[in-house]
Amino acid sequence: MSVWGTDDLHYYSSTKKINLDDFTLTRDTKITVLSGAGISAESGVPTFRGEDGIWKDAEKMRLATPTGFATHPDKGWDFYNLRRMNMAGAEPNNAHKVLAELERQGYDVVVITQNIDRLHHVAGSKRVIELHGTIWEIKCGNPGCSLEPFENKDVPIKGIPLFCDICGTHLRPNVVFFEEMLDPVNVQNAEIRTRETDLFLVVGTSGVVYPAAGFAQLASASGAVVIEFNLENTPLSFFCDKSVLGQCGMLIPPTLNKLSRGEFVYEC
Q: Which positions are annotated as active-site residues?
A: 132
How many CB atoms are closer than 10 A to CB 77?
25
For 52, 67, 72, 143, the CA distances from 195, given in Å and listed in that order, are: 35, 35, 41, 31
Query: Which backbone phi and psi does 138 adopt, to 5 degrees?
Result: -120, 145
Return the beta strands (E) in 58-166 as ranges: 108-113, 128-130, 133-140, 150-151
Contact predicate 225/258, CB 8 Å: no
* In contact, 35 and 113? CB cutoff 8 Å: yes
Are the C-beta atoms of residues 242 and 224 closer than 8 Å to each other?
no
